[in-house]
Amino acid sequence: MKYVYYGFGAFIGFVCGIGLNLIFYWLDQSGVKFAGFLIHNFGFLGKYLLELINALPVIGAALGIILIKLLFNREVTDNHH
């Protein structure tokens, strides 16, 4: 049952990460050159931040699993006393 909890947390985190990633994509497509601004003003750090934005779905899935572990620790542990 704990894998259902973890899977649900990963799914919700992944969907939220995709949503945030889409916001940044639409911002860039609408004419606000967010990516060019980051690279021009911050150089390597800007490129790193852009890669973190691209990794938001995976980061969201990992954070979703961690959040489920923190919120439902009693339900997902195997201690049946």
pLDDT by residue, tens only, the chain of 81 residues: 888 999 999 999 999 999 999 999 998 888 888 888 888 999 999 899 999 999 999 999 999 999 999 998 888 887 665
Q: Report the predicted TM-score, pTM, of the whole model to 2 decimal places.
A: 0.81
Task: Write b or e for each residue in 12-48: b if 16 or more Cβ atoms lie within 10 A of its Cβ, otherwise e.
Answer: bbbebbeeebeeeeeebeeeeebbeebbeeeeeebee
Q: Please enumerate in sequence order all residues whose Cβ is within 8 A of that of 37, keeping only pairs 6 or more positions apart, or say none.
A: 46
Cα gap 57→5, rounded to integer Å: 18
